[in-house]
Chains A and B, each alone.
Chain A
Amino acid sequence: MGVQPDALPTPAPAPRRGVRIGDILLDGATIIYFIFALFPLVWMLLLSLKSQDQLFTTYFQFTPTLDAYRAVLGLDSSGSVPFVRFFINSLIVSFGAVLISLLVGVPAAYAFARYQFKGGDSLLFTLLSFRFAPELMVIIPIYVIYQRLGLFDSHLGLIWVYQLITLPLIVWILRSYFQDLTPELEQSALLDGYSRPQAFVKVALPLVKPGMAAAALLAFIFAWNSFIFPFVLTGSQAQTVTVGALSFMGGATPRYNLTAAAALIALIPPLLLALSIQRYLVRGLTFGAVKG
């Protein structure tokens, strides 16, 4: 379940002098790619609009119904899974994780970019190394620790462990943004009567907004789509949409239509977020293009 990076606007086509064979091939290739990329999403959409008894037919039988969505959202009596709560859980832990990563990571990225300090490089590499190992490597010790600390099945516990995902991303992306800013900008602010923290907030920070938007969005998507951590570290209280969507497939009759509906609902927040910060994103994803 991922978001296709198709939020980037295509540049306006240049005025043509006749149709070129290269253009046709390029358009053809683009269309083929889009069919390939969007096919699973279309399949999911169809699946989510089917009724339970039409799921396993071997011929194409399709009477669109919103029953699956009703069931997922708990609007009928059949809803055994509290999906709405999982959805809210996902929102809380994903936004929480990104927020904390921004609060910690942005100043950290600035420090890494601007100051040479002992062990700085090692620290930076350690942060990156969190992403080397599969999450399964650390999940058992974390499970045991969380059980002892009482963090099991709590929002705080998930937010904390999500830092393994979101913090390195934000620190590494923003460090390169800060490095691309010429230090003279902040030095100028220092001479103009501002303190170092003020120079950081008033001069450097506004210039990396696009980077912050891009990094925050990527971090949010990774956090939102995280499966292993909530799967192992939550019970019924703090469970997230990824685990919740899958739970419809368990049991005697796998209810694929509900899973599909849940997955599509879960697609909405990252999509809305991407659209709402789109104007930063276009600049932000082209890393380091912050020239005056």
Chain B
Amino acid sequence: MALRGVRKEYGKTVALAGLDLEVADGEFFVLLGPSGAGKTTTLKCVAGLETPTAGRVEIGGRDVTEVEPNARRVAMAFENYALYPQETVYDNIAFPLRSKRYAQPPDVARALITQVAGTLGIGHLLERMPRELSGGQRQRVALARVMVRPADVLLLDEPLSHLDAKLRATMRAELKSLGELQHTTSLYVTHDYLEALALGDRIAILRDGKLVQVGSREELWRTPVNTFVATAFGQPRINLLRGVIARENDDTLFATEDGVVRLSLGRRDLAPGTAVELGLRPRDLLLGEMPGMATLRGQVYVVEPLGRQREVTVQIGGQRVALVTPQEDVVPDSLVTISAPPDRLLLFNAETGARMSAVGDDVPGDATAGIAAHG
């Protein structure tokens, strides 16, 4: 399945600004982005519910841009489930099997529905009406209706967003265990990074109708192309320390404005004076001075317990850095040293937000090893 330069405008609003995307057969592909990024529009273009202003949609190598939705062999679970309120659960699931295109004899349909309903644990609800179901049950019915019929592409539009946190975690695990979903080419839309990380073979980050980055969860986590992608993942959010590139003797430094932080970057390709942001993931940071690591010194601002761990916010000059630690003896106002593994540092251009290559890359032979502590 592929999108080639797909553009969608509603009047003067540009919903999709030329999207290029390729999803491999059987891949579970996640579209992640804030609301209004064009995720649902993308799905609707694939489904044929919206016609792109420009560009092509391909399914199985065939150009389907002008093909009617009912001829695309595409199944979609809608964010609001779109269950037919006047039909029972059984009739809802049976609905596709009663169309001309996916017609099945009643006994075959019954067997299929019973099987799918059993897989999803809604076998006992088949005679109920949708309004009598809880949100989680409706969501399963919507999934059952998608799974009961043959489809080349599955489109799942925020299927878990209306569930409460606990149910969402359960359903996330269940979705992952459903072979049908894992073996069919699927496009899954969400704004929840945990869902994206848990489910996606690959993840695409979408913003303002443009693709920001496509990659595996590792790539997006370790080598985000910009601060937008970096801040999209992780709780607590990645720390972004503002500073500038400075030159000292023969070395290039990251220095905060107030001079409290000075880290050697061990590379020469950076112009002094460039405003940058240093990205530090809270769960990568360690308390205490570690050999071979970049260190920062500051004063503990606040400590919040998170079960077995605690989130510690440290005041470093005029800025604050959060980190997560299992250590229990951290008290507010105490002076601490933070160590950061040099290969986990991310350096972004403060103006454009783009990551400056080399630092933090997992590419062998990179210049990251040269980072030394200056404090």
Question: Is B100 part of the contact surface with A, judged by Cβ < 8 Å?
Answer: yes
- A188–B70 contact, CB under 8 A? no
CA distance A206 to B84 in the complex (A): 10
- B80–A184 contact, CB under 8 A? yes
Bitwise, A271-292 to B at CB < 8 A (1) or not (0) is: 0000000000000000000111
Bitwise, A179-222 to B at CB < 8 A (1) or not (0) is: 00010110111111111001000010011000000000000000
| Interchain nearest-CB distance for B134 vs A (Å) | 13
| Interchain nearest-CB distance for A170 vs B (Å) | 21
CA distance A291 to B68 in the complex (A): 28
Interface stretch among B71-79, B308-316, B326-334, B354-362? B71-79
Max chain A Cβ within 10 angstroms of own Cβ: one of B48, B68, B79, B84: B84
Contact residue among A184, A187, A194, A207 (Cβ-Cβ distance under 8 Å from B86): A207
Q: A193-B102, A194-B70, A194-B99 are in contact. Are A188 and B130 (CB under 8 A)?
A: no
- B86–A192 contact, CB under 8 A? no
Chain A residue nearest in CB terms to B129? A292
Complex interface: chain A residues within 8 A of B84 (CB)? 185, 188, 203
Chain B residue nearest in CB terms to A187? B49
Bitwise, B108-150 to A at CB < 8 A (1) or not (0) is: 0000000000000000000000110000000000000100010
- B78–A193 contact, CB under 8 A? no
Q: A292-B130, A292-B131 are in contact. Are A191 and B85 (CB under 8 A)?
A: no
Contact residue among B49, B80, B86, B149 (Cβ-Cβ distance under 8 Å from A190): B49
- B70–A191 contact, CB under 8 A? yes
CA distance A194 to B76 in the complex (A): 14
- A191–B76 contact, CB under 8 A? yes
The count of chain A contact residues (Cβ–Cβ below 8 Å) is: 19
Contact residue among B68, B76, B102, B131 (Cβ-Cβ distance under 8 Å from A188): B76
Report the contact-size class of chain B (Cβ under 8 Å from the partner). 20 to 34
CA distance A194 to B44 in the complex (A): 16
Q: A184-B78, A187-B49, A187-B69 are in contact. Are A192 and B102 (CB under 8 A)?
A: yes
Complex interface: chain A residues within 8 A of B96 (CB)? 192-193
Contact residue among A185, A190, A290, A291 (Cβ-Cβ distance under 8 Å from B70): A190
Complex interface: chain A residues within 8 A of B86 (CB)? 206-207
Question: Is B302 part of the contact surface with A, judged by Cβ < 8 Å?
Answer: no
CA distance A193 to B68 in the complex (A): 10
The B contact surface, by secondary structure, is: loop
Question: Is B253 part of the contact surface with A, judged by Cβ < 8 Å?
Answer: no
CA distance A192 to B83 in the complex (A): 12
| Interchain nearest-CB distance for A179 vs B (Å) | 16
| Interchain nearest-CB distance for B335 vs A (Å) | 57
Question: Is B82 part of the contact surface with A, judged by Cβ < 8 Å?
Answer: yes
Complex interface: chain A residues within 8 A of B286 (CB)? none
Question: Is B276 part of the contact surface with A, judged by Cβ < 8 Å?
Answer: no
CA distance A187 to B82 in the complex (A): 9
Question: Is B214 part of the contact surface with A, judged by Cβ < 8 Å?
Answer: no
Question: Is B12 part of the contact surface with A, judged by Cβ < 8 Å?
Answer: no
CA distance A165 to B9 in the complex (A): 40
Question: Is B62 part of the contact surface with A, judged by Cβ < 8 Å?
Answer: no
- A193–B99 contact, CB under 8 A? yes
- Those of B34-67 within 8 Å (CB) of chain A: 44, 47-49
- B76–A292 contact, CB under 8 A? no
Complex interface: chain A residues within 8 A of B72 (CB)? 191
Chain B residue nearest in CB terms to A206? B86
CA distance A77 to B95 in the complex (A): 63
- A191–B69 contact, CB under 8 A? yes
CA distance A195 to B100 in the complex (A): 9
| Interchain nearest-CB distance for A195 vs B (Å) | 6
Complex interface: chain B residues within 8 A of A292 (CB)? 83, 85, 130-131
Complex interface: chain A residues within 8 A of B49 (CB)? 187, 190-191
Question: Is B101 part of the contact surface with A, judged by Cβ < 8 Å?
Answer: yes
CA distance A188 to B49 in the complex (A): 9
Q: A182-B80, A188-B78, A292-B130 are in contact. Are A193 and B85 (CB under 8 A)?
A: no
Chain A residue nearest in CB terms to B74? A191
CA distance A190 to B76 in the complex (A): 10
Max chain B Cβ within 10 angstroms of own Cβ: one of A185, A193, A291: A193
CA distance A207 to B86 in the complex (A): 7
Contact residue among B68, B70, B75, B82 (Cβ-Cβ distance under 8 Å from A182): B82
| Interchain nearest-CB distance for B23 vs A (Å) | 18
21 A-B pairs (CB sep. < 8 Å):
A182-B80, A182-B82, A184-B80, A187-B69, A187-B82, A188-B76, A188-B84, A188-B145, A190-B49, A190-B69, A191-B47, A191-B72, A191-B75, A192-B96, A193-B99, A193-B100, A207-B85, A207-B86, A290-B85, A292-B83, A292-B85
Residues of B within 8 A of A (CB): 44, 47-49, 68-70, 72, 74-76, 78-80, 82-86, 95-96, 99-102, 130-131, 145, 149
Closest 3 CB pairs of A and B: A193-B99, A193-B101, A292-B85
Residues of A within 8 A of B (CB): 182, 184-185, 187-195, 198, 203, 206-207, 290-292
Q: A188-B145, A192-B96 are in contact. List 17 more A-B contacts (CB 8 A).
A: A184-B80, A185-B82, A187-B47, A187-B69, A187-B76, A187-B82, A188-B76, A188-B78, A188-B82, A190-B68, A193-B70, A193-B99, A193-B100, A193-B149, A194-B99, A194-B100, A291-B85
